Chains A and B, each alone.
Chain A
Amino acid sequence: MEKENMRYMTAKADNMFKLIGIIIMMIGVIGLLFNWNLSYSEKNKKLKAFEELMTQTIFRLERENIRLCDFFEEVNTGNSQIDKGCKEISEMLREHQVSSVAQAWKTAWKSKLVEWGLKAREREMILNFANIYLAGDLDEIMDKAQAGREDLNILRKQEQNSYEQKKKILFPVGMLSALMVIIILI
């Protein structure tokens, strides 16, 4: 009787360990999914804001004939962090603190892009946008900003695809784990 009890208890403990293990795994998968989703969403917002900045560059510089310091001061991309960076650029230009607009651009974004978790390739692309504002005339600026906007759009689509791929693998794994827990519980 005692032996049977022991066997029953051991089996129960065994099942409990399995259950805890599966729950931990599930939490991990869900956590990973959530984290990926969060970082993807944040990154996507930033890239979208830079895309908006390029759009405003194309339209506002030509139509309103404004100086760069005024343009960066008034930029509204819908993302407060990008707008804040633009205001920093505006300040640097207004006070003539830098030797060129490219220097202001790089100073404003370099550390932030790392902080936001952008990959080296993405950081390089955004930092190179500095050259847009160095262009000699409006047509050149428009062309470069247009190209920049397209590059960002492609990058965002690539990111979205990669995220979808990850989701395709992790979602079934998560579902399977949940199913297993349910079976064990029953």
Chain B
Amino acid sequence: MTKRKEATFILDYKYLTKETAREITLGGEPEEIRIRANKPIEYIYESKQSFGHIVSEFELRTQLELLTDYSWYNLKPQLEQGYFTIEGGHRIGVTGRNKTSIGTINIRVARQKKGIGLSVIPYIRNDSSIYNTYIISPPGEGKTTMLRDIIRILSDGADGKESFKVAVVDERSEIGACYKGIPQNDLGKRCDILDGYSKTKGMKILLRSMSPQIIAVDELGTEDDYNAVNEIINSGIKIIGTIHANRIDELKEKKNLPKVERYIFVKRDKYGKRKYEIYDSEGRQYV
């Protein structure tokens, strides 16, 4: 393991077993690491995947000890949701019944790509505020990354324009990547985060307590979420949310989803590069 690499990889090497750290040093920095007992470790990169050494059950348990800071008992409430977050905001998904019967560990390396939202910001902003906006994409295409950067830009006024009070409901700690309540990602200076709350409850709390100008929320999907979004729109606060969909016209199937003024569809081309399509409320495509 070279010192240079150690310094650049976002996930601290101390959380990884020696063998895994060595392979990352040689093979590059993955977005995801999937570790399964008695199976080769899987590294997922932006546009490819590769396999490494076979992981023994002992190594899997050691990996878990390292990721939980040897304090598995401390994470039991989070593990009921199937994942927990470690320092740096990296999300660790775990399958299995308990500490001694773990099947898979999935490490999603938190990465903030600053600046990727700048290209869509002109289509979201209007004269004095922003348009209610949904960011849509299939899973893993980068809608949360896009949302995170849009929040940062609007909260900081990073595009050289007015900044806003942005409140975020971060149910799965993916946006702010909070560790012990402190966001590990830069979401700008005017951003307040409600970490670990359900979206519906969180949106209502923010609406009443934080007097935000914009509420941002990830992965809207249930009727309750749609009702909460409706309430926000009706109270004059702007919403930016993300929605899973493989195509833009899939949104028509989501019956009670409130209409908004802007839809950003995120997808990747065959080289793994992100592309955006922007639509208005009438379905007209801008970009």
Nearest residue in A to B71 (C-beta to C-beta)? A67
Q: How many A-B residue pairs have CB under 8 A?
A: 48
Query: Among the listed A93, A136, A138, which residue makes an inter-chain contact with B69, where contact means beta carbons less than 8 Å apart?
Result: A93
User: For A133, what are the chain B residues with a Cβ–Cβ distance below 8 Å?
Assistant: 70
Which positions 168-209 of chain B face chain A at CB distance < 8 Å?
none
Residues of A with C-beta under 8 A to B76: 137-138
- Docked complex Cα distance between A68 and B72 (Å): 10
- Residue of B65, B73, B74 near A135 (CB, 8 A) is B73
Residues of A within 8 Å of B99, CB to CB, are 134-137
Taking a contact as CB atoms under 8 Å apart, the answer to whether A100 and B73 are in contact is no
Q: Is B98 part of the binding interface, using a Cβ–Cβ cutoff of 8 Å? A: yes
Beyond A136-B98, A136-B99, whether A99 also contacts B62 by CB under 8 A is yes
Q: How far is the CA of A95 from the CA of B70 in the complex (A)?
A: 11
Residues in B neighbouring A69, C-beta threshold 8 A: 69-71
Which of B69, B73, B98 has the most A CB atoms < 10 Å from its CB? B73
- Residue A108 at the B interface, CB < 8 A? no
- Interface residue SS majority, chain B: helix
Q: Total interface residues on A, using CB and 8 Å?
A: 20
Residues of chain B in range 46-62 having any CB-CB distance to chain A below 8 Å: 61-62
7 extra A-B contacts, CB within 8 A, seeds A67-B71, A136-B73, A137-B99 = A67-B69, A68-B70, A69-B70, A69-B71, A99-B66, A136-B98, A141-B73
Which 9 pairs from chain A and chain B are nearest by CB? A136-B99, A96-B14, A99-B62, A67-B71, A101-B70, A136-B98, A138-B73, A68-B71, A68-B70
A to B CB contacts below 8 Å, 18 in the list:
A67-B69, A69-B69, A69-B70, A95-B14, A96-B14, A96-B15, A99-B17, A99-B66, A100-B62, A100-B65, A101-B65, A101-B70, A133-B70, A135-B73, A135-B99, A136-B72, A137-B73, A137-B98
B residues in contact (CB < 8 Å) with A: 14-15, 17, 61-62, 65-66, 69-74, 76, 98-100
Q: Taking beta carbons and an 8 Å cutoff, which residues of A are in contact with B?
A: 61, 65-69, 93, 95-96, 99-101, 104, 133-138, 141
